[in-house]
Structure 1
Amino acid sequence: MLLTPKENLMRKVFFLVPAVLLAFTIAAAAQGSRPSPAASASCDLGGGKTIKTDYSSPRMKGRKIYGDLVPYGKVWRTGANEATAFVTSADVKVGDKDVPAGSYTLFTIPNADKWTLIINKKTGEWGIPYKYEGDELARVDMKVSKLPSAVENFTISYEKSGSGCTLNIDWDNTRASVDISAK
């Protein structure tokens, strides 16, 4: 059977459109699978006061983390990709430092026995290199403890504690933590 030019064109369009849609679907799915996916943690401080942390969660993948991939004594972006965001809807106390309600970026300085949490006023930045000392709101000491087993996925979590929350940073066999309370 011989097709007219119009029928031939319709046949090509009929097969081409689904092929293009499939290609776009595959491309979109590939972009969605980041090696360090986005994650979030939050805590309700009561009375409508909340804190929330948005970060990217890298994986251990058999690597030595602290003292190697994440060097001791140097500012670390505390996650991967974009800098870790910390948003508080109310004035809070982080460790012994006052933090007004607002949006901030978190960095840390890991060491084997003590960590320092850096709360920075500069937001919307990529995680490295760190060049924002002039925008720091506070540096806070964090407690360090060993976890009973290694944590594959870098994790930030909040644990309800008294009238506040404890911010926990877990990866490999290390936990760094600091208490946060509403003012």
Structure 2
Amino acid sequence: MKKLIVLACALLGGFALNAQVVTPQPSPTSKLEQKVGLTDVTVAYSRPSMRGRAVFGDLVPYGALWRTGANQNTIVTFSDDVKIGGKELKKGSYALFTKPGKDNWEVMFYTDTNNWGTPQEWDESKVALKTTAKTFKLPFEVETFTIDVDNLTNNGASLGIVWENTYVEIPFEVPTQEKAMASIEKVMGGPQGGDYYAAAVYYLQEGKNLDQAQEWIDKAIATQKEAPFWMLRQKSLILAAKGDKKGAIETAKQSLAAAEKAGNKDYVKLNQDSLAEWGAK
């Protein structure tokens, strides 16, 4: 009996050690994902609430560096280079730090995102971009700290920070026109060398129209300054599949020479094996 009691106590003690109390977070995490033009914008942050407290100028002092949220850094990610306040910010992820003021805020995009709160030692060299943002007084109070992407257009938007009765606007521009024009020019300009190559290889593999495959592989090769050994290899296979053994051997020799020049042993062997198979001299 004594042993059973000891065992039961041990089991209960182990359960107590492993049990975890689950309660709501005081400042729950949030993740915002927004497409602006052709650019992906993501904001990951924690959301404290007022809970009867005065916020700006009290809980969050004016002129003091703030993590712009709670807990871990607020992290803003741009998939493209953007412009903020006329200055360029490279694509990537940044910790968003601010110094709130009565009339405007100082806003900093910091390259080190691995901080809990503000950095113990501020490194000015890690500030990728610094700008000043306007503040606006709201005619009502917002209980929970919120970051949103507002004023969406094809070419930009604003990071909007809202809490208590304050709204802060951080406008940014995205390179939609450059990306859209590049896409239009590429598509309207017709297929590229890689497109012709992929289509030719597919037709060869599926045994489809080999004359068409040869036309496409020739166009793919024509887009190159120097015919790549892998394109020449596929052309030799297409010619062999068409029964043009002489053309296949000639092209395989070109591919072999290019592969040797590039130091690609795999393609050297592939071409040597094919040339032997086709009875090349």
TM-score (norm 2): 0.55
Rg comparison, structure with higher value: 2
Residues in 1 aligned to 2:67 and 2:132: alpha-carbon distance in whole angstroms:
16
- Check the 8 A contact 1:122/1:132 in 2, yes or no: no
* Larger helix share, 1 or 2: 2
| Cα offsets for 1:116-172 (capped at 9, x unmatched) | 110111111111246132210111111210112111111111114222221110010
Among 66, 75, 82, the alignment partner of 1:85 is 75
Match of 2:148 among 136, 146, 157: 157
| SS at 1:39 equivalent | strand
List runs of 5+ in structure 1 lacking aligned partners: none
Cα separation, 1, equivalents of 2:91 and 2:59: 33
Structure with the bigger percentage of strand = 1
2:33 to 35, 42, 45: 42
**Structure 2: segments with no counterpart, 5+ residues:** 176-281
Please give the root-mean-square deviation of Cα atoms over the aligned residues, in Å. 2.5
**Segment of structure 1 superposing worse, 141-150 or 157-166:** 157-166
Q: How do residues 103-182 of structure 1 correspond to structure 2 at under 5 angstroms?
A: 103-128=93-118, 129=120, 131-163=122-154, 164-182=156-174
Answer whether contact 1:43 1:160 (CA < 8 A) is retained. no
Q: How many correspondences in the alignment? A: 173
Contact 1:43 1:52 in 2 (8 A): yes
Tell me the CA shift for residue 97 of structure 1.
Answer: 1.9
Q: Is the 8 A contact 1:42 1:157 kept in 2?
A: no
Residue in structure 1 matching 2:44, options 54, 58, 72? 54
Q: Secondary structure at the match of 1:122?
A: coil
State the distance in 1 between where 2:121 and 2:106 align.
14
Identical counterparts, % of pairs: 35
Q: Does 1:75 align with 2:65?
A: yes
**TM-score (normalised: structure 1):** 0.81
Q: Deviation above 3 Å: which 4+ runs of structure 1?
A: 16-26
Verify the 8 A CA contact 1:168 1:176 in the aligned structure 2.
yes
